Structure 1
Amino acid sequence: MNKTCLSKKPNFARCFREMPQRDDQEHVLVLRGIWNIAMTQPDDPEFPSLGIFECMGKLIQRAVKDRQWLLRDQNIYIPYYAAHIIGSYTMNKVQFAEKAVNSSVVLPLIELLRGKISWVEQRVAVRSLGHLASHATTFEAIAEHEVEIIKLAMEISCNCIKTVYRRFVGVKDSKRVKYHSDLLTTGLGDLEIENRKAEEWASQLQCWSLYLLNCFACKGRSLNLICNKHFLKELCGMWGGLANCASPGGIGCIRTLCDFKAGRESLANSKEVMEILCNTSRSSDDWQYMAIDCLLLLLKDTDTRYIVIHTAASSLADLVELRSLKERKKVGEAITQALLQDYHKIKYGDLKLSSQDAERALKETWDLMVERRKREELMSEEELKERKDLVGMLKQEGNKKFWSGQIEKAVTTYTKALDLCPLKMRKERIVLYSNRGQSYLLLHNAEAVISDTTRALCLSSTASPHRKSLWRRAQAYDMKGLAKESLMDCLMFIHGRMKAEKTKHAKIPYFAARMIHKQMNATWLFSTVAKSKNKDDAGVEKPRVGEHGEDLCQVTEEIKERNGEW
């Protein structure tokens, strides 16, 4: 149903006023038509000016309060479309958001957020509330319910993957709630499309919950709630995934918390947070720059520096020659400054770190970025040429030892070559680091592989990263069981290979396809919960009583009893 068709109805404003009180089987068709318009023309002022928000709010309220009405005809679809319409119209225009708040949509949306109907309605409710919270003039209307909204958003983000799997994906096709299936596929599509869409929606529900939390966190609100130790641990496992790659997921929320002292202190004391930041900082993840930003902010804060430096130093030391990242320039120099800001105290014995690895990383950074640069600036052209020739010989010697199976001796030879190789010889150093990384790979030293290949990738162009290093690092991350990081490197490796071949018929190597298949399975959104045995025979989560005394499965169970009607 298009807008032209809808506009033919006389006095549409009166229709919006009367719709919540009337029982009409055409309500769903009308709402679906408005939903289509709201999705395609979210900035059109016509319907917002005619009372659409008040109408949608009242429809949601009726659905929550009047269970019999909700389960009659096709009314079960109404709250989903109503909340979606609110979210679409309030996404961009501040004046629409203000009108929505003044039309009392907040409380009905919170009712859906509480899980009064199902996870499907929770998804569109959290989207709408996130849009309202993102506008400065409507934020306070959401903040009136701050504690409850934050607790609900935290709970949803932690449990929604499990909920969607146990209520839908893990349920046999014949036992699924039909209106959920219809909304997921708009009535068109097979089981595979349905499952794929459910995964996308589950990811969106999680990411939009984090976005709502972020609206409070970026203002420094309720950090004591958000910085809960258990939640921060859960946050580390939340990412948009390939289905929702535009969202930074948990790391976006972590980045926001780093802007506040209370947030930094909580993050610094979380082992899981530090691990995810270090891993992401040395990966092909789109949000690598956020992880680096977080580590730098933690290092620059004197109250958190010596809590995190023993973990962060080794990872950041591999990135000191990174020239640019996204739109950021001189990233490596910023990292070097953060690492060495008080190195003189360590160098002259005034400060002792608890971690020898951290001290070693700082010393290597000082030698590479300060001492070695000074020495090479004083070298003559003749000496540089001699070194270049010697490095070439050592590289060939290392290659021979590698191919003859003398892997440890090859590592030693590559190390000598790297120590002698002038810093300006970036291409030669890329190959040496990558070759040494390959040697470490055969020695099953995954951490050393990641370190060397990351250094090689920092020296290469971000537009065209060194492919062999990507593949070797992908294997190292696989050895460590870090499937996401391995997958990202695999995908970058394939992208670079196909780009280099410049043909539409470029083939993905079998070894890479096999690795991608493995990591796709490992990073599947529902992989963890699918292995869980804490399910009943029907594959549905057992009913539980929520914080508000509501049986969160009640509506779903009633719908199942009437499944033939929808």
Structure 2
Amino acid sequence: MDSLKKKKNTLTTSTTIPTSNTMHIDQTCTNSFCFFCTMKEPDSHQKRARIANCFKKIPLGDQQDHVLVLSGLWNIAMTHPDNPEFPSLGVFECMASLIDRGINDRNWLYRDQNVYIPYYAAHIIGSYTMNKVEFAEKAVKAGVIPPLMELLRGKMSWIEQRVAVRALGHLASYDATLEALASYEHDLVSLTMKLASTCLDVVYDNFIGVKDERKRLKYQSNLLTKGVGGLEMEKCKAEEWSSQLQCWSLYLLNCFAYKERSLNLICRQDFLKDLCGMWGGLVNYTSPAGVGLIRILCYSKYGRKMVSESIEVLENLGNLSRSSDDWQYIGIDCLLLLLKDPDTRYSVIEIAVFFLIDLVELRDLGDRSNLGEAITKQLLLFYKQNKLKYNNGKVRKALEDLWNLKVERRRKERVLSEEIQEERRVLIGLIKQQANHMFWLGEIEEALRKYSEALALCPVRFRKERMVLYSNRAQCQLLLKDPDSAISDSTRALCLSTPVNSHCRSLWRRSQAYDMKGLAKESLMDCIMFINGCIKSEATKRVKIPYYAARMISKQIEATWLFSCAQSKMESGGVKEAMQESRGDHESGNEGMMRYMMENKGLSTITEEPLIGNEWSRRKLERARRISKRAVMAPSINLLGLPHHRAEIPCGGSDFDGKC
């Protein structure tokens, strides 16, 4: 790989990626099988015969225009993937031969601009096989699988792995061609699992993390930016392609998992944990990524067994089910599938119940209706047996509370007259006012107790009132540093909102609670939904994003950056190396660490400004303290027009519901 990198970097900095726009057809061409001249042939029968001859001759020749031909074919394949002309004339045989030649004949690969050819060839195969099974069958018969497997093994670089796994994924998606991969299945699945788990580290180490632009492989930079982009554009495209590489790898694994093949490999516990961190994210937002594969596994008995044995996976599914992520329903689906299986139900429920119980009042979620009732039915299906079986007191208490909410309270409230229910509404309003007053006085625990009292009296059908009470109680729990309870109450409030996940204050509170627990992705999604709600509610005004929400977004985007883990690994590795070197200079561990951080990482230490003998600094500090004290003690108005409360506010903002 090092020698390949060294030779590929011999491409001059003026080299640009060939595209159809750079093609120049020589009118005096004497090449008997020139592809560009062939495409101008007016006679259709003669043209087809000449194209077929070109596809046979191209892999055998050494013409400099091969890369231009491949670039043109790639554009045609991308824009007209269903056109049968080229697949019927031997394009797959040609592409397979070119990939094979690039892998085995390095002298040819490093000549002219041939280094681009394997990438284009694999991309052409993938484009023609993505829609039509008959094209996929032709590709298999043409022998594309062995050279694609070599690219997947890393015989070149991650750039070629990306298009190879894409093409193999299309071949695996058809029943007619999946069997053709059977002889490679173990290697194919193992390699793809490794690629999905490590590709982000590889791309960061070999490209994104290479600070010196001159040390990056030039042909990769050109492919990413079409030869005209700068460093920032390269990084953005590399991030996009890395996300695609990971998601296309998962797609290929999905094809095998859906057929319940190679489950013993895919369901390895270490890989299941890796899947939880594979997020389509903001880069590749249309892909369910890792959790999509977990759901496929949960459709099989063996997959459910293996998923149920991982506490980490179950907790990740639970966090997803209580989020505003587009894939929230996948987390719920997985937990319900595990609960419906008698072999996994009792090993899962002690974790799942504390997530699902907050969702029992969901009505519609996307195209799923009465989802809360389905959750309730599953949790209470064997309520009496569960009550006797569980030694876990918290699980028993949770199920009893669910029974009381969904069965006992409904039965009792069914006989209440309208007059009595309206009297309760007035009483609840009075208790809420008392709770609000306690809150403003800073008596947070007493306010929380009052909100709980109001919730106990509030009829189940008063959804709006209960939503506000749950949301206000969540704010109290935030201030009492109880993020788990705050998430639970915020989620219940969001399930009661219409439409679901639309109550802005609850979204913001849950975002803060997830931030306190270090769950950056969940916090980010709630914060984005909160800002969207703010924008919609102020459609007729000039929209101002609250500063504290913007700060949260910035923090969580950095934490959920696609390469954040890879960056941490590289930096921690660099720190360790520096520490080892520092020991040779007789430095202590802390001294070596500090010196390395200051000299090599560009981080400065924080030094206090001396106050003695500096009257201006002293007055400035005192003034800052007075302003800070006033801001805490006096109510203020945030950018949304929502009143701040006097108590300390996590993450710089509050939106307490004084009234609905």
2:190: which partner in 1?
151
Task: Please list the CA deviations of residues 398-448 of structure 1 after superposition, one character each: whole Å capped at 9, or x if unmatched.
Answer: 111111101011111111111111111111111111000011010110000
Task: Please list the CA deviations of residues 91-125 of structure 1 after superposition, one character each: whole Å capped at 9, or x if unmatched.
Answer: 11111111111111111111100000000000000
Counterpart Cα distance in 1 of 2:484 and 2:190: 38
2:503: which partner in 1?
466
SS across alignment from 1:182: helix
Q: Is the 8 A contact 1:59 1:78 kept in 2?
A: yes
In structure 2, relative to structure 1, the CA distance for the partners of 1:6 and 1:450 (3 Å cut) is farther
Q: Does 1:281 align with 2:321?
A: yes
Among 250, 253, 259, the alignment partner of 1:219 is 259
Q: Is the 8 A contact 1:310 1:354 kept in 2?
A: no
Alignment of 1:160-559 (within 5 A): 160-171=199-210, 172-347=212-387, 349=388, 351=389, 353-462=390-499, 465-503=502-540, 505-532=542-569, 533=571
Mind listing any 5+ residue stretches in structure 1 that lack a counterpart? 540-566
Q: Does 1:40 align with 2:72?
A: no
Deviation at 1:4, TM superposition (A): 9.6
Deviation at 1:6, TM superposition (A): 7.2
Counterpart Cα distance in 2 of 1:517 and 1:492: 15
In structure 2, relative to structure 1, the CA distance for the partners of 1:401 and 1:534 (3 Å cut) is closer
Deviation at 1:355, TM superposition (A): 2.6
Task: Please list the CA deviations of residues 265-300 of structure 1 after superposition, one character each: whole Å capped at 9, or x if unmatched.
Answer: 110010110111010000011111111000001111
Deviation at 1:232, TM superposition (A): 1.1
Counterpart Cα distance in 2 of 1:383 and 1:235: 52
Counterpart Cα distance in 2 of 1:183 and 1:98: 29
Relative to the length of structure 2, the TM-score reads: 0.79
Deviation at 1:33, TM superposition (A): 1.3
1:8: which partner in 2?
40
In structure 2, relative to structure 1, the CA distance for the partners of 1:503 and 1:169 (3 Å cut) is farther
1:552: which partner in 2?
none
In structure 2, relative to structure 1, the CA distance for the partners of 1:291 and 1:105 (3 Å cut) is same
Deviation at 1:346, TM superposition (A): 3.5
SS across alignment from 1:30: helix
Q: Judge which range, 16-25 or 354-363, deviates more.
A: 354-363
Percent identity (aligned)? 60
> Quick check: which has more Rg, 1 or 2?
2
Q: Cα RMSD (Å) of the superposition?
A: 1.7
1:562: which partner in 2?
none
Counterpart residue identity of residue 242, structure 1: L
Q: Is the 8 A contact 1:43 1:93 kept in 2?
A: yes
Counterpart Cα distance in 1 of 2:312 and 2:464: 36
Task: Please list the CA deviations of residues 328-349 of structure 1 after superposition, one character each: whole Å capped at 9, or x if unmatched.
Answer: 11100110011111111234x3
Task: Please list the CA deviations of residues 339-388 of structure 1 after superposition, one character each: whole Å capped at 9, or x if unmatched.
Answer: 111111234x3x2x243222222111111111111111111111111111
Counterpart Cα distance in 1 of 2:276 and 2:115: 35
SS across alignment from 1:20: helix
Q: Is the 8 A contact 1:64 1:117 kept in 2?
A: yes
Alignment of 1:86-97 (within 5 A): 86-97=125-136
Deviation at 1:196, TM superposition (A): 1.0
Q: Is the 8 A contact 2:495 2:501 kept in 1?
A: no
Counterpart Cα distance in 1 of 2:171 and 2:377: 40
Task: Please list the CA deviations of residues 129-173 of structure 1 after superposition, one character each: whole Å capped at 9, or x if unmatched.
Answer: 011101111111122211000000110011101000000000021
Counterpart residue identity of residue 367, structure 2: E
Task: Please list the CA deviations of residues 159-206 of structure 1 after superposition, one character each: whole Å capped at 9, or x if unmatched.
Answer: 101000000000021210001101111112221111011111111111
Count of aligned pairs between the two proteins = 535
Q: Is the 8 A contact 2:494 2:501 kept in 1?
A: no
Counterpart Cα distance in 2 of 1:312 and 1:324: 20
Q: Is the 8 A contact 1:446 1:476 kept in 2?
A: yes
Q: Is the 8 A contact 1:19 1:55 kept in 2?
A: yes
Deviation at 1:534, TM superposition (A): 6.4
In structure 2, relative to structure 1, the CA distance for the partners of 1:384 and 1:480 (3 Å cut) is same
Counterpart Cα distance in 2 of 1:405 and 1:296: 41
Q: Is the 8 A contact 1:267 1:274 kept in 2?
A: yes
SS across alignment from 1:243: coil
Counterpart Cα distance in 1 of 2:274 and 2:501: 34
Among 77, 99, 103, the alignment partner of 1:60 is 99
Q: Does 1:79 align with 2:118?
A: yes
Q: Is the 8 A contact 2:362 2:500 kept in 1?
A: no
Counterpart Cα distance in 1 of 2:229 and 2:538: 36
Counterpart residue identity of residue 239, structure 2: E
Counterpart Cα distance in 2 of 1:104 and 1:315: 50
SS across alignment from 2:228: coil
Q: Is the 8 A contact 2:280 2:286 kept in 1?
A: yes
Relative to the length of structure 1, the TM-score reads: 0.92
Counterpart Cα distance in 2 of 1:416 and 1:109: 65
Deviant stretches of 4+, over 3 Å: 2-6, 533-537
Deviation at 1:457, TM superposition (A): 0.5
Task: Please list the CA deviations of residues 500-544 of structure 1 after superposition, one character each: whole Å capped at 9, or x if unmatched.
Answer: 21158422211111000000000011111212246689x9xxxxx
Counterpart residue identity of residue 481, structure 2: H
Counterpart Cα distance in 1 of 2:488 and 2:503: 14
Counterpart Cα distance in 1 of 2:310 and 2:168: 29
Q: Is the 8 A contact 2:126 2:166 kept in 1?
A: yes
2:144: which partner in 1?
105
In structure 2, relative to structure 1, the CA distance for the partners of 1:411 and 1:107 (3 Å cut) is same
Counterpart residue identity of residue 433, structure 2: Q
Mind listing any 5+ residue stretches in structure 2 that lack a counterpart? 1-19, 22-34, 42-46, 578-660
Counterpart Cα distance in 2 of 1:41 and 1:460: 46
SS across alignment from 2:359: coil
Alignment of 1:111-122 (within 5 A): 111-122=150-161
